[in-house]
């Protein structure tokens, strides 16, 4: 099967609108005048970001979900994505699984596949997402203010625990595996935070490092409490045994949002919490001195380093 047949068979989905069909040299994207484009790209490589035995369905899900998470961090609405797929061989079963999950996640978040590329080589998936956000209103890393309250969504460390167990040859429990393979991008939460949160980031490399990006960009510090970090029962049990706080602080792969909210907007946050049914936990405050202080931590953790 040649490249064109492969695209036609597995990736030429009829979009909801006629402005996003695959087939031209470029995709032409239209946006409304009062919107800005938000765009981001992420690559997943076999053996680096997922183990070789990972199912095609899980690879497809995660490749798109981690990109959607970047849109969520800006409060953007997903619109379009492109896909560059490098495959070691033509494998019909793999491609069927991959394209079917990719399509169902794309449908769920109403994002259209508008172009891409396929090549032969070591398995790697690059997805570029584009979303829209009202002009001048995107959530930025640089907007945290002294006195803001810092929140995170849901729980931290579950995906990192799953990854650690996989590497140790242990089968993770289903809830941990779900967090690792099929993280839920917090798109609705990001959109709801527009006009409520000051700064926001998605936690991909660990809370310590990603909150650090907000602090650096905003030229502020933060004081957070270890005991306030939201944890699943599995993480609580793990910490009781090991006291290894590096997993929730620096494990990465959480794809939760970490954001700062001015005191005056906290009541609006309560409404968002009820409306979306999402767990939002206060973990600390933004401070003036440009440091991250973690009360209760007796050692520093090494966050995920890309190189």
Give contact residues for Mg ion (rule: CB under 5 A). 70, 202, 204
Tokens representing 76 are 């953007």
Query: In angstroms, what is the minimal distance from the CB of 69 to Mg ion?
Result: 6
* CB nearer to Mg ion: pick between 165 and 204: 204
CA-based nearest residue to 210, from 132, 109, 283 = 283
Nearer of residues 70 and 158 to Mg ion, judged by Cβ: 70
Smallest distance, Mg ion to C-beta of residue 164, A? 22
Between 39 and 204, CB nearer to Mg ion = 204
Contact 85, 94 (CB under 8 A): no
Closer of 158 and 202 to Mg ion (Cβ): 202
Q: Which residues pair with 86 in a beta bridge?
A: 119, 124
Which are the contacts of 192, defined by CB distance < 8 A and separation ≥ 6? 272, 275, 276
Q: Which is nearer to Mg ion, 11 or 151 (CB)?
A: 151
CB-based contact 276:232 (threshold 8 Å): no
State the nearest-atom distance from the C-beta of 66 to Mg ion, in Å: 8
Measured from the CB of residue 119, what is the shortest distance to Mg ion in angstroms?
A: 26
> By C-beta, is 202 or 253 nearer to Mg ion?
202
Q: Are 259 and 138 in contact (CB under 8 A)?
A: no
Tell me if 8 sits within 8 A of 23, measured CB to CB: no
Closer to Mg ion at the Cβ: 72 or 231? 72
* For Mg ion, the closer CB: 155 or 204: 204
Task: Kindly state the smallest distance separating residue 193's Cβ from Mg ion, in Å.
Answer: 15
- Least Å from the CB of residue 140 to Mg ion: 12
Minimum CB–partner distance for residue 120 and Mg ion (Å): 30
- The residue (of 70 and 254) whose beta carbon lies closer to Mg ion is 70
Q: At its nearest, how many Å lie between Mg ion and the CB of residue 143?
A: 15
Q: Write down the least CB distance from residue 55 to Mg ion, Å.
A: 25
Order of strands across the sheet with 292-295?
200-203, 256-261, 149-153, 280-287, 221-225, 292-295
- Residue 160: name the closest of 206, 192, 215 by CA: 206
């Amino acid at each position: 099967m040649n490249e064109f047949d492969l695209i036609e068979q597995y990736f030429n989905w009829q979009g909801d609108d006629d402005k996003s069909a695959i087939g031209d040299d470029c995709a032409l994207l239209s946006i409304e005048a009062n919107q800005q484009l938000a765009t981001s790209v992420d690559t997943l490589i076999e053996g680096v970001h997922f183990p070789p035995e990972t199912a095609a369905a899980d690879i497809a899900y995660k490749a798109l979900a981690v990109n959607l998470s970047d849109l969520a961090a800006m409060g953007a609405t997903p619109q379009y994505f492109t896909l560059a797929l490098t495959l070691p061989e033509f494998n019909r079963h793999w491609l069927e699984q991959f394209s079917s999950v990719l399509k169902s996640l794309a449908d769920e978040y109403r994002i259209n596949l508008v172009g891409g590329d396929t090549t032969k080589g070591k398995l790697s998936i690059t997805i570029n997402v584009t979303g829209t956000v009202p002009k001048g209103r995107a959530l930025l890393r640089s907007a945290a203010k002294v006195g803001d309250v810092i929140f995170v969504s849901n729980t931290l460390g579950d995906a990192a625990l799953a990854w650690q167990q996989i590497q140790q040859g242990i089968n993770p429990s289903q809830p941990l595996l779900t967090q690792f393979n099929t993280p839920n991008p917090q798109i609705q939460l990001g959109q709801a935070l527009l006009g409520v949160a000051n700064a926001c980031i998605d936690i991909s490399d660990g809370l310590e490092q990603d909150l650090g990006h907000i602090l650096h960009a905003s030229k502020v510090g933060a004081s957070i409490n270890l005991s306030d970090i939201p944890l699943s029962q599995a993480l609580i049990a793990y910490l009781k045994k090991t006291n290894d706080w590096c997993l929730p602080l620096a494990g990465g792969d959480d794809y939760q949002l970490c954001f700062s909210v001015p005191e005056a907007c906290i009541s609006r946050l309560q409404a968002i919490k009820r409306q979306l049914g999402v767990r939002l936990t206060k973990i600390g405050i933004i401070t003036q001195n440009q440091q991250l202080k973690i009360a209760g931590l007796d050692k520093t953790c090494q966050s995920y380093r890309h190189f």
